[in-house]
Amino acid sequence: MNVIIVGASGYSGAELARLVASHPKLILAGIFVSEQSLDQGKALSDLYPQYTGLIDLPLQPLNSSALQFIAQHADYVCLCTEHKVSVDLAPQFLEMGKRVFDLSGGFRLSSDEDYQRYYGFSHSQPELLAQAAYGLAEWNAHAIAKAQLVAVAGCYPTAALNALKPLVNAGLVSDFPIIINAVSGVSGAGRKANIATGFCEVSLKAYGLFNHRHSPEIARYLNHDVLFTPHLGNFPRGILETIYVHLKEGVSSEQVTDAYQCLAQEPLIRLLGDKIPSINGVVNQAFVDIGWQQQGNMLIVMSAIDNLLKGAAGQALQCMNIAMGLPAHFTLVGGQHD
């Protein structure tokens, strides 16, 4: 399949370009940036020296000739663009008959009201919200396989939902909001000139209390109330979530362990039991590491991912694999392609 990536200069886009370029069933047919971008004309390896000799494709402006090229040559269009840009671009590519994989939050929530509240803009394509399949590979493969438009899951929700859906689905969780204390590496903030993510400025701190965009996304797909508090951490990649779950009265540790068995065969999920996940354990890998410990009816679940490689780009590749009828984890487990 021919894949093009719009917004390939950012961290998610570049990571996805790498994954596509080394995938035996995909061809990286083009990488694009906005017409305003100062990066147009540069090779991706000018921005990311690690790709020198591996991906030397130039970043091209998404102008009308680019659109023509895409119309003729692309099968899959990946949007690594700002939320609002994705919302505006997706219909064009859908009309061309392309399958669209959107890595932004532009199609993850269910209503324009939610977009006004959490994203600060009115959604211009509300009718597409119902059509988009939520791109959480381990949980929604059937819908992803058929969908023309996939709203690839957010990075924080990827870590949270894989850790919590087994418990909620098994009916083990009481009505209290689940408290999710999350810390993300700086790449989660994207690649842009910004004092706040400057080397001398970054320092562990919370942000987005009570109103982060991933809060309604998690709640929607979990079917449970959550209190989600993200933090910026002083490391480049990775997410660690420490999650406080009030179990229903009398839930045993066996019930908890049993609930997680639904994930036991998932190649990208590693169930650590009472061992404790860490950022180092997952960075540069596409795994979700999940560990848990219980005392009485309080369960602490810890979930770790690489925000770019299981979140964002990795999740998008899983969705493309599913769309092609391949195993979702294809090429994502180190070195074992066959």
Show contacts with a copy of itself in window 312-331 (CB under 8 A).
331
Span 219-238, contacts to a copy of itself by CB under 8 A: 227, 229, 231, 233-238
Task: Give the residue, chosen from 270, 286, 288, 307, that forms a contact with a copy of itself under the rule CB under 8 A.
Answer: 270
54 counts as binding a copy of itself under rule CB under 8 A: yes
Q: What is the DSSP letter of 181?
A: E
80-99 residues in contact with a copy of itself (CB under 8 A) are none
Q: Is 319 a catalytic residue?
A: no
Residue 293 near a copy of itself by CB under 8 A: yes
Give the binding-site size for a copy of itself (rule: CB under 8 A).
73
In the complex, least distance from residue 179 CB atom to a copy of itself, rounded to whole angstroms: 5
Q: Who's near 286: CB < 8 A, 6+ residues apart? A: 268, 306, 309, 310, 314, 329, 332, 333
- Quick check: 41 binds a copy of itself (CB under 8 A)? no
CA angle 293, 298, 302 (to 5 degrees): 40
What track of x and - describes contact with a copy of itself for positions 118 through 137 (by CB under 8 A)? --------------------
Tokens 């179990």 sit on residue = 247
Q: Residue 98 CB, nearest distance to a copy of itself (Å)?
A: 25
Q: Kind of pairing, strands 239-246 and 178-184?
A: antiparallel
Shortest separation between residue 133's beta carbon and a copy of itself, angstroms: 27
Q: Is 52 in the site for a copy of itself (CB under 8 A)?
A: yes
Does position 244 bind a copy of itself by CB under 8 A?
yes
Q: CA end-to-end span of the chain, whole Å?
A: 18
Let me know: does 88 contact 71? Beta carbons within 8 Å: no
49 burial (CB, 10 Å; 0-12 / 13-18 / 19+) is exposed
- Phi/psi for 126 (5° steps) reads -60, -25
Which residues are the active-site residues?
Answer: 155
